[in-house]
């Protein structure tokens, strides 16, 4: 069975060139970057090179990049680390209703610890209104966090506008850019972003690695006690091979992003035209414009998403039902709820996310398979 | 094309071996685990405390599926399970009945909604780990539902609502196995659940405190009232009708000269629990409604073996089909016939074949 993978928002394959860059550090160049000798220095240099690759892509200094185990750790370190270092006594926090669990649950934990929390609503497209952000800011607001683009719908948030608001008031601004990074050229300095979470396995790098950009001068407290690695912000021996892979993936991304954007946009349009456009059985969640070119999210009439997902998987087609997923059981998406999506469409959302290895033919195959699954007449039996 | 079989995997030994056997036999097997009830809210997963009651059944099933090498999916059936099983369970108690939630689950959830959805994703059959046999009788041109070979494990009682439209699509590979063989097989297949203990009586009440469960949901029905003997004398106070079932002797706290007392009837309209001596528990006539027949509805009265609860021995009886229900005359009086339990009928000659049954009223 030919398998078609359309779940790149969950994980991408590792680019061959990334793997090649990693291999020496999984085999011969195995040293601990903290070691004094040749092996240690070899590894240390590799980590530093990767740090520069990431920094270059963002237009920031290498010293402002800290490697983490991925998006969740980056979000936790940014939010908790910043608050613990600067406002341990409390303060007002602002985030949005459509954040990833890594952000939302962290803020909820902060609220239980005594911080005051405002969770901003979104419009029908899933976008935060800048007026709402302005209205939510109080004298004691210490941190605003907003994702760059949503992991379920791909909706892009008005990051620069929020950044300007935050900067004007001297409030720290954290952005989870895990999904957006692959398809948006992010410039933290120009966009007034103080803390930026990135992750490797959405951009053809390995899993278990990511980075947090921390604006120069911002104080954070580390999550774990131990050695002085990563500017004392992340104790523990560096995952050298993964860091090298991530650095390489970022370098490739920087060079190839325009082509990736164009190719994904074409596939997305083809999928939309082929399946959703003009067919009342489907509802596009979010909008085509103002969203990531590699993600499309839609709901189907009359069949819950797990059934569609399993039926597709049986045919070798891998898609997803948004992100909220607990031990495989699909919960209605908090993102779609926040967008005010009607109950009728809430349990039947499907997220298709494209990647560099997908072809127009594959899109046509998937569109056809979906139509068959939903058409009771042409069903298997 | 290889036959595709959806296996309902609970994470227990029986359904795990079911999946492994079918895979070994060369079928295209997919494992499905149903998420049926909310975890105990007394141990919530806040503040990152590792929770004792996380989805361990789902995790077990997933672990088994990866050992066997089959795809596995979890379906969220909490809503339908609440409506068709839990609500039914609770409501039965408020009506003075003692329900069998497994039968409701088999009917509405496993062989109902699950089979319906399994077809939608292309399954040809549904398999479960029940101990019972399905055999096609060429002579009659009908599928028969027979007891499992291991009588002690036989679960045909909870399957009496299977009918001819479903039976061709259901596979019960445990049919011919003894329980000890099942565990041996689980070991042989390397399944991590081979020594998992038997599941408890009611899956959605893990602590077995069904009174506490009901009290949380229908506190208003726990209204104290009178214990009344068959002569109409008040002999004590009861704690609310859902606390009692027919034949119950323990926990009545009734002393006095008339004892020992047994619950012989639940009088919901007057909130009274009727008690009597053991001899008052015996009845020969049993009526049932919500009747279902495995091989089609019979004409006229016939002889059969009847079973009035899961653990009761089957006993000779005469069955009188009635409009919308049935009436049964047992040859010998039956002890503690309980409304809400299933009356299941087996063939008189061998006692092996399920004819059908209904809910005792």
Beta-bridged to residue A199, according to DSSP, are A210
Angle between helix axes A16-26 and A240-271 (nearest 10 degrees) is 170
Pairing state between β A317-318 and A195-199: unpaired
B329 contacts B342 by C-beta, under 8 angstroms: no
Q: Tell me the C-alpha distance between B32 and B52, whole Å.
A: 23
CATH number, domain of B288, equals 2.40.30.10
B357: tokens are: 């049954």
Q: Is residue B167 part of a domain?
A: no
B342 and B237, same structural domain?
no
B99 and B63, same structural domain?
yes
Q: Tell me the C-alpha distance between B310 and B344, whole Å.
A: 9
A145 contacts A103 by C-beta, under 8 angstroms: yes
Selected catalytic residue, list B53, B102, B105, B243: B105
B94 and B179, same structural domain?
yes
Domains in chain A with CATH codes = 4-11+258-374 (3.90.1150.10), 16-253 (3.40.640.10)
Q: Phi, psi at residue A51, to the nearest 5°?
A: -60, -40
The structural domain count of chain B equals 3
Q: Please, is B39 exposed, middle or buried when counting C-beta atoms within 10 Å of its C-beta (0-12, 13-18, 19+)?
A: middle
DSSP B159: G
Pairing state between β A65-68 and A4-5: unpaired
Q: Please, is A241 exposed, middle or buried when counting C-beta atoms within 10 Å of its C-beta (0-12, 13-18, 19+)?
A: buried
Give CA separation, A111 vs A114, A116, A220, in Å. 5, 6, 19
B245 and B334, same structural domain?
no
A85 contacts A219 by C-beta, under 8 angstroms: yes
The residue to which tokens 């499992």 are assigned = B148
What residue numbers of B does the annotated binding site for ATP cover? 8-15, 34, 129
A71: tokens are: 């998006």
**Is residue A112 less than 8 Å (CB to CB) from chain B?**
yes
B300 and B231, same structural domain?
no
Give the 3-state secondary structure of residue A19: helix
CA angle A335, A340, A344 (to 5 degrees): 95
Q: Is residue B140 part of a domain?
A: no
| Inter-chain touch B58–A330, beta carbons under 8 Å | no
Omega before residue B260 within 30° of 0, cis: yes
DSSP A148: S
B349 and B264, same structural domain?
no
**Domain range enclosing B59:** 4-130+172-188
| Inter-chain touch B122–A112, beta carbons under 8 Å | no
Segments in chain B forming alpha helices (H): 13-24, 56-68, 78-81, 87-94, 101-104, 115-120, 179-188, 210-217
Q: Tell me the C-alpha distance between B188 and B174, whole Å.
A: 15
B288 and B264, same structural domain?
no
Q: Phi, psi at residue A340, to the nearest 5°?
A: 75, 25
B205: tokens are: 């009440």
Q: Is residue B301 part of a domain?
A: yes
CA angle B60, B64, B68 (to 5 degrees): 170
- The complex's ipTM works out to 0.82
Catalytic residue list contains B52: no
B340: tokens are: 């809400």
Nearest-CA distance B140 → chain A (Å): 26
Q: How confident is the prediction along chain A (381 residues), in pLDDT tens digits per residue?
A: 899 999 999 999 999 999 999 999 999 999 999 999 999 999 999 999 999 999 999 999 999 999 999 999 999 999 999 999 999 999 999 999 999 999 999 999 999 999 999 999 999 999 999 999 999 999 999 999 999 999 999 999 999 999 999 999 999 999 999 999 999 999 999 999 999 999 999 999 999 999 999 999 999 999 899 999 999 999 999 999 999 999 999 999 999 999 999 999 999 999 999 999 999 999 999 999 999 999 999 999 988 888 999 999 999 999 998 654 544 556 788 999 999 999 889 889 999 999 999 999 999 999 999 999 988 644 444
A60: tokens are: 């920031």
Sequence-separated (6 or more) residues with CB below 8 Å from residue B288: B325, B326, B327, B328, B342, B343, B357, B358, B359, B360, B361
B60 and B93, same structural domain?
yes
B327 and B288, same structural domain?
yes
Last residue of a domain, one of B276, B299, B318: B276
Q: Tell me the C-alpha distance between B120 and B109, whole Å.
A: 15
**Is residue B268 less than 8 Å (CB to CB) from chain A?**
no
B264 and B291, same structural domain?
no
CATH number, domain of B272, equals 2.30.30.280
Q: Is residue B271 part of a domain?
A: yes
Centre a 10 Å sphere on the Cβ of residue A47 and count the other Cβ atoms it contains.
20
User: How many Cα atoms occupy the beta-carbon half-sphere of A367 within 13 Å?
Assistant: 19
Q: Phi, psi at residue A310, to the nearest 5°?
A: -65, -45
CATH number, domain of B100, equals 3.40.50.620
Q: How confident is the prediction along chain B (361 residues), in pLDDT tens digits per residue?
A: 799 999 999 999 999 999 999 999 999 999 999 988 875 544 444 444 444 444 578 888 999 999 999 999 999 898 899 999 999 999 999 999 999 999 999 999 999 999 999 998 889 999 999 999 999 999 999 999 999 988 888 999 999 999 999 999 999 999 878 878 889 999 999 998 888 877 767 888 888 888 999 999 999 999 999 999 999 999 999 999 999 999 999 888 887 777 789 999 999 999 999 999 999 999 999 999 999 999 999 988 999 999 999 989 999 999 999 888 999 999 999 999 999 999 999 999 999 999 999 999 9
Q: Is residue B327 part of a domain?
A: yes
**Is residue A265 less than 8 Å (CB to CB) from chain B?**
no
Q: Is residue B146 part of a domain?
A: no
B313 and B267, same structural domain?
no
A241 contacts A26 by C-beta, under 8 angstroms: yes
| Inter-chain touch A329–B4, beta carbons under 8 Å | no
Q: Is residue B333 part of a domain?
A: yes
Pairing state between β A92-96 and A141-145: parallel
Q: Is residue B138 part of a domain?
A: no
Look at residue B198 in the predicted model and tell me its pLDDT: 76
Centre a 10 Å sphere on the Cβ of residue A209 and count the other Cβ atoms it contains.
26
Name every chain B residue with its beta carbon within 8 A of the beta carbon of A328: 33, 58, 62, 72-74
Q: Tell me the C-alpha distance between B118 and B77, whole Å.
A: 13
B101 and B237, same structural domain?
no
User: How many Cα atoms occupy the beta-carbon half-sphere of A36 within 13 Å?
Assistant: 0
Test the A interface: residue of B70, B73, B121 with most A CBs within 10 Å: B121
Q: Please, is A88 exposed, middle or buried when counting C-beta atoms within 10 Å of its C-beta (0-12, 13-18, 19+)?
A: exposed
Q: Tell me the C-alpha distance between A178 and A167, whole Å.
A: 22
**CA-based nearest residue to A103, from A134, A123, A89, A82:** A82
């Amino acid at each position: 069975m030919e398998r078609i993978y359309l779940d790149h928002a969950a994980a991408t394959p590792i680019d061959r060139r990334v793997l090649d860059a990693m291999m020496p550090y999984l085999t011969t160049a195995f040293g601990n970057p903290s070691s004094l000798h040749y092996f240690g220095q070899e590894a240390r240099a590799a980590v530093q090179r990767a740090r520069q690759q990431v920094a270059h892509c963002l237009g920031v200094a290498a010293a402002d990049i800290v490697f983490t185990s991925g998006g969740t750790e980056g979000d936790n370190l940014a939010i908790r680390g910043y608050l613990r270092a600067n406002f341990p006594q409390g303060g007002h926090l602002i985030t949005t209703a459509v954040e990833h669990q890594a952000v939302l649950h962290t803020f909820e934990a902060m609220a239980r610890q005594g911080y005051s929390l405002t969770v901003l609503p979104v419009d029908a497209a899933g976008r935060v209104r800048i007026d709402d952000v302005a209205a939510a800011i109080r004298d004691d607001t210490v941190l605003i966090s907003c994702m760059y683009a949503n992991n379920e719908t791909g909706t892009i948030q008005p990051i620069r506008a929020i950044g300007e608001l935050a900067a004007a008031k001297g409030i720290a601004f954290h952005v989870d850019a895990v999904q957006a990074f692959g398809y948006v050229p992010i410039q933290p300095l120009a966009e007034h972003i103080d803390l930026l979470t990135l992750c490797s396995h959405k951009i053809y790098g390995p899993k278990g690695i990511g980075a947090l950009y921390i604006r120069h001068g911002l104080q954070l407290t580390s999550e774990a006690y131990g050695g002085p690695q990563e500017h004392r912000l992340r104790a523990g021996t560096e995952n050298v091979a993964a860091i090298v892979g991530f650095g390489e993936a970022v370098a490739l991304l920087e060079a190839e992003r325009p082509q990736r954007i164009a190719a994904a946009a074409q596939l997305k349009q083809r999928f939309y035209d082929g399946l959703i456009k003009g067919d009342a059985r489907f509802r596009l969640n979010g909008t085509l414009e103002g969203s990531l070119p590699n993600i499309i999210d839609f709901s189907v009439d009359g069949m819950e998403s797990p059934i569609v997902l399993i039926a597709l998987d049986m045919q070798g087609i891998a898609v997803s039902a948004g992100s909220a997923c607990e031990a495989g059981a699909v919960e209605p998406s908090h993102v779609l709820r926040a967008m005010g999506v009607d109950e009728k469409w809430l349990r039947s959302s499907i997220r298709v996310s494209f990647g560099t290895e997908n072809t127009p033919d594959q899109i046509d195959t998937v569109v056809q398979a979906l139509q068959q699954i939903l058409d009771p007449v042409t069903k298997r039996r | 094309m290889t036959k595709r079989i959806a296996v309902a995997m609970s994470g227990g030994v029986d359904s795990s071996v079911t999946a492994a056997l079918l895979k070994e036999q060369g079928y295209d097997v997919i494992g499905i685990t149903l998420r049926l009830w909310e975890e105990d809210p007394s141990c919530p997963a806040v503040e990152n405390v590792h929770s004792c009651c996380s989805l361990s059944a789902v995790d077990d099933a997933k672990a088994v599926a990866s050992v066997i090498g089959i795809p596995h999916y979890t379906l969220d059936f909490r809503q339908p399970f609440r409506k068709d099983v839990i609500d039914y369970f609770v409501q039965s108690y408020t009506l003075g009945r003692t329900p069998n939630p497994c039968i409701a689950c088999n009917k509405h959830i496993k062989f109902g909604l699950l089979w319906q959805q399994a077809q939608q994703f292309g399954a040809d059959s549904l398999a479960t780990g029940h101990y019972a046999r399905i055999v096609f009788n060429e002579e009659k041109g009908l599928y028969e539902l027979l007891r499992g070979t291991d009588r002690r494990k036989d679960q045909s009682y909870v399957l009496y609502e299977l009918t001819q439209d479903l039976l061709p699509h259901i596979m019960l590979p445990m049919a011919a196995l003894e329980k000890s063989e099942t565990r041996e097989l689980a070991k042989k297949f390397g399944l991590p659940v081979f020594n998992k203990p038997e599941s408890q009586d009611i899956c959605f009440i893990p602590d077995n405190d069904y009174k506490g469960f009901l009290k949380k949901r229908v506190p208003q029905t726990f209204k104290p009232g009178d214990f009344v003997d068959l002569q109409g004398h008040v002999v004590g106070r009861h704690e609310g009708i859902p606390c009692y079932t027919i034949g119950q002797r323990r926990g009545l706290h009734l002393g006095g000269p008339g004892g020992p007392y047994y619950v012989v009837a639940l009088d919901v309209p007057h909130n009274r629990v009727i008690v009597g001596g053991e001899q008052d528990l015996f009845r020969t006539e049993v009526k049932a409604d919500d009747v279902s027949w495995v091989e089609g509805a019979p004409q006229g009265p016939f002889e059969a073996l009847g079973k009035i609860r899961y653990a009761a021995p089957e006993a000779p009886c005469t069955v009188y089909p009635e409009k919308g229900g049935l009436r049964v005359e047992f040859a010998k009086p039956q002890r503690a016939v309980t409304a809400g339990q299933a009356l299941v009928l087996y063939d008189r000659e061998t006692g092996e074949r399920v004819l059908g049954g209904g809910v005792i009223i």
